[in-house]
Structure 1
Amino acid sequence: MTSMLNYMGLGMVACASIAATPAYANGTTAGTSITNTATVDYQVGGVAQGQQSASNSFVVDRRVNLLVEEVGNATTEVAPGQTSAVTTFQLTNSSNEILDFLLTASQITGGVATHGGTDTFNASNIRIYRDAATGTPGSYDVADVLVTYIDELATDTPIRLFVVADIPAGLPTGAVAGIQLRATALEGGTAGTQGAAVTQTAGANTAAKDTVFADGVGVNDANRDASHSDADDYTVKTATLTVTKSSRVVSDPFNGTTNPKLIPGATVEYCIAVANAAGGADATSVAINDSVPGQLAFVAGSIRLNGTVTGGTCNADGTTGGSYAAPVVSGTIATIAAGAARTLIFQALVN
């Protein structure tokens, strides 16, 4: 009878304890000692006797869990030769204890990247930064801290991490590099020091704080291995320019503009057309230079910039601009959008 009453008392107290305790995502902190006591009052011959009690204690074990997630779910567009190209991730400590986390950034070799492109190149100078509370939180900037591990990450706390790398020059539009970030749980408890590896408790439950791995499968780690990982990729988007140069006779001293001929004194118009292939990036600060041959004399004020091309033919449009420093004609077009063509036009007289 006493045993049954003890169990009933334990159950009633446990239920009351559960009802009074708020729920947390990661549960009760590992190492917490939970104690409850059952009491039994009874009578003999109608007379109350002394109270009997029994207590039970156990230590909450440690559940090691973590989650690494790409932020944005889209490829990171980069330009050839770009430095400090940024991919963004989030790490959450879903364990029921403060832990350290070792960080590893790696690249895939060939195959399909996470956003569908085929991996064709490797970035260089890969490093990992932790987002700082100063500067611009949520975005990579000079305030962020270069790290190899995360120190003393509290439970239920997501932090933003940036994998930063340099992109080789000379890559074509559509080239892809797959990037992966992996975090591995380490022992916490000592601020400023990277913790040791976490070990899962083998065999039966012990009276001490045991450890259970509860993490899922990432892109380059296994189920329940105290690690988790996710992926992003860099996709090159560049401008591919083609240049064509043409000329036409505008007038001559004898025929004027009616069927003019290329005789001394004739006016020749040159067109330099720069086309940017569709599907790439905008080309900016496009500087054009052309040397006027010695047999020609530049016509002052004849330079026009940013004209258009129709059917391969330069249109008589654009705006005045550019400069002439004998014998070179120069002009800069601010932007040539992907799929567009723009021109520099100038005139010269045949000597």
Structure 2
Amino acid sequence: MTKYLVSVSGVTLAALAASPALAEGTAAGSSITNSVTVNYEVGGVGQDSVTASDSFVVDRKINIVVAEEGNATTSVSPGQQDAIATFLVTNSSNDIIDIRLTASQLAGGAAAHGGTDNFDVGNVEIYVDVNNDGVFDIAADSPVVGYLDEMGRDETRRVFIVSDIPLGRATGDVADVTLTGAAREGNDGVTGAEGAAITETTGGDTAGEDTVFADADGVFDGISFDDDDYTVQAAALSALKGSTILGANYPIAGATEFYNIPGATVEYCIAVTNAAGGADATNVAISDTLPANTTFVASSIVIGGTATIDDNSTPGNPADDVLTSCDNSGGAAGGSFAAGTVSATIGTVSAGATEIVTFRATID
């Protein structure tokens, strides 16, 4: 018998653990009735029992929660399209409701994850994650036309704020966005129309179904909001160019000093630097028009190598940097020359790195 009772108890516990906790509680409008029976005797003889009952209607508790998902800034690049800030919108009410959604932007001040809001994003739209995969897909997800329709009790829907990042923003620039949800009347499961604003019952509990705002933020208005922000990671490229007269093929035999005279070969060096602390620059390409009175040396383009740059004791300020030397011995032949222009693709210039391209020309 003891083993049997323990087994049954274990099954009961497992069943309870598998049942989800419903935050919204008993459905609004439900009737709860409590009855009492009084039994008694007179002269040792049992009499007819006396009964009494009390009933009340469960009132409607309105509580919605808008919360950023992930609690981290969204890293973006200048000019990026469809940058995503993700939120979870939950109906913790004990009734089916609509939730009106609006997106807004901070006008300066502290952003959600540090830094100061200093720019606005463009083309702000709100989408619902229809397939609930946590990934924005413009083909699969649905734009929100002002509200979330018929949100069930304890239902959560993932919502994306989708924005475009303007060009010209620098590393560390921050744009803060806010998603606000406001409770609206549901339509008893009938979709396709936004309900009216919900009004809280005042004057105390009535015999019918009353409405009570139970906002978690303590401001009892049926409204919830949260912030996310976009933080820019940009590449900051600068370029330096220098030239060196080569001793090879110099027009004066036996010369030990070299000058820019006709027939001399000049090696040009282009150094592209990406400032530290930002994003990698990709698909970096150079285009250099050969100056007049020079002739390109065929197959002389080399991509890669090292450069020595004098920062004039002002690191981080490329305006006064000077290119002092280049070494292309570690580079590889590449690029092209056409219509008087040297073209070469460097590829990626990592943050804090310098890449070079060299080519040669003779002075006419």
User: Which deviates the most, 102-111 or 273-282?
Assistant: 273-282
Deviation at 1:95, TM superposition (A): 1.2
Residue of structure 1 equivalent to 2:317: none
* Mapped partners of 2:213, 2:109: distance in 1: 30
Asked if 2 retains the 8 angstrom alpha-carbon contact of 1:262 and 1:350, the reply is yes
In 1, the alpha carbon distance for the partners of 2:239 and 2:359 equals: 16
Counterparts of 1:129-278 in structure 2, within 5 Å, are 129-133=127-131, 137-142=133-138, 143-147=140-144, 148-188=146-186, 189=188, 190-217=190-217, 223-251=219-247, 252-255=250-253, 258-278=256-276
Q: Aligned partners of 1:260, 1:225: CA distance in 2, in Å?
A: 83
CA distance in 2, matches of 1:75, 1:283: 21
Matching residue of 1:308: 306
Partner in structure 2 of residue 51 of structure 1: 49
Structure 2 residue matching 1:38: 3-state secondary structure: strand
For 2:21 and 2:37, how far apart are their aligned partners in 1? 27
Q: Distance in 1 between matches of 2:272 and 2:21?
A: 65
Q: Does 1:332 align with 2:345?
A: yes
Write the distance in 2 (CA, Å) between the matches of 1:294 and 1:326: 13
Partner of 1:243, secondary structure, is: strand
Name the counterpart of 2:108.
110
Partner of 2:294: 296
| Aligned amino acid, residue 69 of structure 1 | A
Mapped pair 1:344 → 2:357:
yes
Taking the TM superposition and a 5 Å limit, the aligned residue runs for 1:23-62 are 24-62=22-60
Q: Which 4+ residue blocks in structure 1 deviate beyond 6 angstroms?
A: none
Q: 1:300 to 1:22 in 2, by over 3 A?
A: closer
Distance in structure 2 (CA, Å) of the matches to 1:274 and 1:205: 73
Give the Cα–Cα distance (whole angstroms) in 1 for the partners of residues 127 and 254 of structure 2: 69
Distance 1:51 1:266 in 2: 123
Name the CA distance, whole Å, in 1 between partners of 2:38 and 2:219.
Answer: 47
Equivalent residue letter for 2:147: Y
Alpha-carbon displacement from aligned partner over 1:233-289 (angstroms, at most 9, x marks no partner):
122222111111100011214357954333333221100111111122111111201
| Alignment partners' CA distance in 1, 2:253 and 2:127 | 71
C-alpha separation in 1, matches of 2:281 and 2:232: 14
Give the TM-score normalised by the residue count of structure 2. 0.84
Cα pair 1:292 1:327 within 8 Å, conserved: yes
TM-aligned CA deviation for residue 177 of structure 1: 1.5
CA distance 1:22–1:84, shift in 2 (3 Å): closer
Report the alpha carbon displacement of residue 123 of structure 1 after superposing the two structures with TM. Answer: 1.5
- Structure 1: tracts of 5 or more residues without a match: 1-20
Encode CA deviations 1:141-173: one digit per residue, 9 max, x unaligned. 121111121111112222111011122222222
Q: Deviations over 1:321-351 (max 9, x none)?
A: 1111131110011111111111111111222
How many pairs align?
325
Are the counterparts in 2 of residues 250 and 260 from structure 1 also a CA contact under 8 Å? Answer: yes
Alignment deviations for residues 63-91 of structure 1 (CA, whole Å, 9 cap, x no partner): 11111111122222222222221111111
With normalisation by structure 1, the TM-score equals 0.87
Aligned partner letter, 1:115: H
Could you tell me how far apart the structure 2 residues matched to 1:255 and 1:159 are? Answer: 81
Q: Please, what is the CA RMSD of the aligned residues?
A: 2.0
Determine the C-alpha separation between the residues in 2 that align with 1:315 and 1:28: 77
Separation in 2 of the partners of 1:185 and 1:257? 87
Deviating more after overlay: 176-185 vs 35-44: 35-44
Matched, 1:319 2:332: yes
CA offset at residue 308 of structure 1? 2.8
SS at structure 1 position matched to 2:304: strand
Percent same amino acid among aligned pairs? 53
- Cα offset, 1:47, TM superposition: 2.0
Asked whether the equivalents of residues 250 and 257 of structure 1 are also in contact (C-alpha less than 8 Å), the reply is no
Conserved in 2, the CA contact under 8 Å of 1:87 and 1:164? yes
TM-superposed CA distance for 1:23, in Å, is 5.9
Which residue does the alignment assign to 2:15? none
Shifted more, 238-247 versus 39-48: the winner is: 39-48
